[in-house]
Amino acid sequence: MTGHNYYILTALPTLGEFGSAAPLTLGQLLESVSDNAACKALLEVVFLSDDLLQWQSCLAGEITEANPVVLTEAQACHKEPLPGYLLADTQAESAHIPGDEVWAGYFRHAATVADRLTSHFLHTWIEYEVTLRNALAVARAKALDLDPNDYLVATELAGSDEDFTALLNEWSRSENPLAGLRILDKTRWDWLIRHDGWFTFDNDELAAYGAKLMLLCRWQRLGHTPEGMTNNETRMTNQ
């Protein structure tokens, strides 16, 4: 409902530009909405994507410790199985890349939550992320002379309005993985600015705030600022 979160949103610290320090943690934001079940559920779905990036990095041996917000540390570090809703589609995906089937399960789970909570933001954010992920998969597959269809996930959730041609061209010309990652996440940040529902004070505006905060926290966790992150660390989020 419009205006429902006026006091929460006005009390939250203003987020700086992309690459600035995060003014609070994801856990602190969740705690601030603990009495709003719908908003908390939206934020948890958004933050789960960051937990899965850490899970995937553990799977690849790039990190040995994780700091998840929704998953347990044991789940993020492959010491315990992931929640069942992330594994429901393991037989439906070709999974040429380890973890693709989990991402398919995540996107479908998020779409279900968006339906249940009638969240326009979550619907469009998932559509955007699926479309971007698959566009990157197609570009990589073509560069390696592979069948792009083998590397797509949750294609039924992809949108048709986004044209990533210019972004992919810029990304493909990047000097190193760090520069490529910065291009992708800056594009994500700009999309969030355009879709953040500013001044509506509804649950979707809080979810968009959380998505922007998640990007700031991710860069801070990996290297304090986009410029300070090492090339090895970029593999964790370069997707």
Cα–Cα distance, 179 to 194 (Å, whole number):
23
Rg (CA), the chain: 17
Tell me, what's the pLDDT at 233?
A: 41
Does residue 14 surpass a pLDDT of 60?
Answer: yes
Write out the two tokens for 8: 């929460």
Contact of 197 with 123, CB cutoff 8 Å: no
Assign 97 a pLDDT band (cuts: 50, 70, 90). confident
Provide the residue ranges of all domains of the chain, joining segments of one domain with +: 6-12+19-231
Cα–Cα distance, 233 to 221 (Å, whole number):
10
Percent of the chain with pLDDT over 70: 88
| Closest C-alpha to 212, from 185, 235, 182 | 185
Does residue 177 surpass a pLDDT of 50?
Answer: yes
Contact of 136 with 239, CB cutoff 8 Å: yes
Does residue 222 surpass a pLDDT of 80?
Answer: no
Assign 82 a pLDDT band (cuts: 50, 70, 90). very high
Tell me, what's the pLDDT at 230?
A: 42
pLDDT in tens, 107-117: 999 999 999 99
Cα–Cα distance, 215 to 237 (Å, whole number):
10
Whole-prediction pTM: 0.89
Write out the two tokens for 206: 């809080």
Cα–Cα distance, 45 to 48 (Å, whole number):
5
Q: Angle, nearest 10°, between helix axes 203-223 and 120-143?
A: 40
Contact of 33 with 40, CB cutoff 8 Å: yes
Q: What is the mean pLDDT of residues 134-157?
A: 94
Tell me, what's the pLDDT at 160?
A: 82
Percent of the chain with pLDDT over 90: 76
